[in-house]
Structure 1
């Protein structure tokens, strides 16, 4: 399976999956320009509004291009620096929310390990147009299993490593997040861990996505969810100013 990504694939995905946002944004922008031409109102205010709109439309694309196309995120150099062992006895789980761009790359990086892929997408709960469109073009790793977020079909203490790569934020309810993470902890071996990569609801992502940063959750929200699920130790590394790599352990 070819794992090399096309140039600008990340930003083109963002533009395609969120085209409704840009369509309506362009309409509003056109109406603002027309109202300025038809009615007499402050030129300064007009340019402030126009600048804000253009910023809101373009900045998410610029940041997405940086994060997903130029930062090396999908090269997984950040993962190689973690010095994780690849052995024939290692059990790895990759869980996505209906859009999978990482499983084939993970298998490339862990060729000896046994990789299982689960998808917790729920069409009744996860109704955002972006994720629906993403599912239509998503690669499907062989034997990917559809699961419920509160029921991972694996035995207790059977997994060495769980990956949640830009997926867990699709679980909007805090209680559902906790139940999902409890399942992750249940299937983790005593020395197992969960690696989660996420944008955060912080100042950097506010500058990048404006009001769209509310689609993500704060560091404290995630830490509380993992703590309530029984994880005892957490480390965080920034991958670009806009993404964080969390590693959670179930024992000190």
Structure 2
């Protein structure tokens, strides 16, 4: 699917999963489109689950300059906020991976 045209109707999904893939959208406009589309397809109270490596100290130690391919935490939080999604949970997994749950408001 294209980031600005997910193949789902409006407001029908409980959860949208983006696992180790969203960082491959290198243009900010494409990431904005993905988050906007995820919000469109989610039912009220639905969740976007984003799992990514972050551009941070831990990943830089392990991946060296390759960590610049990852995006900073603030970038993901900003894209969610722009799409009207609210942080519901954030969890670090094995010290290198972060899982975010962004929720669509119920009203």
Return the TM-score normalized by structure 1.
Answer: 0.41
Structure 2 distance, partners of 1:196, 1:208, is 21
Structure 1 distance, partners of 2:45, 2:4, is 22
Offset at residue 153 of structure 1 (A): 2.1
1:223 aligns with 2:74: no
Unaligned segments of structure 2, at least 5 residues: none
2:24 matched to which residue of 1?
A: 170
Q: Which runs of 4+ in 1 moved over 6 A?
A: none
Residue aligned with 2:39, SS = helix
2:96 paired residue among 242, 246, 251: 242
1:49-64 equivalences under 5 Å are none
Choose 1 or 2 for highest CA Rg.
1
Offset at residue 232 of structure 1 (A): 2.2
- Contact kept in structure 1, 2:77 and 2:87, CA below 8 Å: no
1:155-194 equivalences under 5 Å are 155-194=9-48
Offset at residue 234 of structure 1 (A): 3.6
Structure having the larger proportion of residues in strand: 2
- Contact kept in structure 2, 1:234 and 1:249, CA below 8 Å: yes
Residue aligned with 1:246, SS = strand
1:233 matched to which residue of 2?
A: 87
2:68 matched to which residue of 1?
A: 214
How many residue pairs were aligned?
Answer: 106
Return the TM-score normalized by structure 2.
Answer: 0.94
Unaligned segments of structure 1, at least 5 residues: 1-146
- Contact kept in structure 2, 1:151 and 1:183, CA below 8 Å: yes
1:149 matched to which residue of 2?
A: 3
Measured on the aligned residues, the alpha-carbon RMSD in Å equals: 1.1
Structure having the larger proportion of residues in helix: 1
1:33 matched to which residue of 2?
A: none
Offset at residue 226 of structure 1 (A): 0.9
